[in-house]
Structure 1
Amino acid sequence: MSTTDPIQLFDTWFAEARASEINDSNAVALATVDGAGQPSVRMVLLKGHGPDGFVFYTNRESRKAGELAAVPRAALLFHWKSLRRQIRIEGGVTQVSDAESDAYFASRSRDSQLGAWASDQSRPLDARATFEARYEEMRARFEGGEVPRPPHWGGYRVTPARIEFWQDRAHRLHERRLFVRDGDGWREGLLYP
């Protein structure tokens, strides 16, 4: 598909990945950097995307959230090995609205909701039993009722400034299309493999 809109191209590639990837086609590597310049990367799940950006959710007291507070920029990398494709996205990061976070949180399984309350994500844990006991406490606390979104949990949106589409080719003669934000539109070019 030839298009000059990287969001449309992402939609096409993402739909193909969702149809062919066995596990977590929405898994994406998220790279951040702390205030001292130390990089960190981990996998998260993409939970929304569109012209305004790419959304994931997490504990806002986690390491990644602290890094995003210090340096509100990030890079994302989708790698779909079976399709021999990857997409790199770089841009600024903002928190999504409370309403958007509430709506997504309400769509999660009850166990995942309870886990968000029980976990001090990224902090040291003395024993798995400690976490399991906290989970059981949350199950008792919210028994018979809805589980509200914890105040320390929500979404982030990466607003793309650069999007690169990489397609594997024989003999490492790969195709790389780069889109760079240019005002309200995009400037497109190619990169050497």
Structure 2
Amino acid sequence: MNKKMKVLLKILKFVFIILFSFILILYISLNIYVKSKEVKVDKNELISLSTISLSDNQIKIASIVLNKQSNPKFHNYFFLINDAFSGRNNVARITAFTYIAEHDDFRHITSIERHVVELATKRYIMKKIDYTICYNYLFSKLYFGNSIYGLSEASDFYYSKKYTELTDKEFISLCLLLHNPAFYDFRNEKKKKKM
């Protein structure tokens, strides 16, 4: 190899090391920043706010509808980027969003900061709180259309049954309401067909 090639290789190695070091420092700093924004969700508070207890089969169905996978357990990702863009932990994300929305301490923060707090809290939930607690909490709080919050009220309103008596098909239809209550409102479809 000639001298120019050796010098060029040394420069490229140096630039690569500098760039890699910068990215690593940036990544570590970002992780530290996100970690500093996490809300320590009280597991006992989630349990006390839950008005229902889903069966294992209902949790599995809810996971398929909300996470698009049959395994309801949370997937812990090492990399922050995976947590930020993965749809596998929607239940943890929605739990973080709902929990933060219920606390006045977070009403004054900006939109971007709120996203960071939600991401950090989601990561905390995935590591520290059992997934069944999150499912029960969410299905006690979420909006099912027609001014109805919580699975218990929704099953009574839509099917005149207790949520424990719902068939799988009925439970799936209620889970779909969570995506878009106006679009998936099957009661409106029945009314439209009668007209």
| Same fold? TM cut 0.5 | no
Class of the TM-score when normalised by the shorter of the 2 chains: under 0.3
Greater percentage in strand: 1
| TM-score, structure 1 normalization | 0.24
| Structure number, greater radius of gyration | 2
The two structures have a TM-score, normalised by structure 2, of 0.24
Larger relative helix fraction: 2
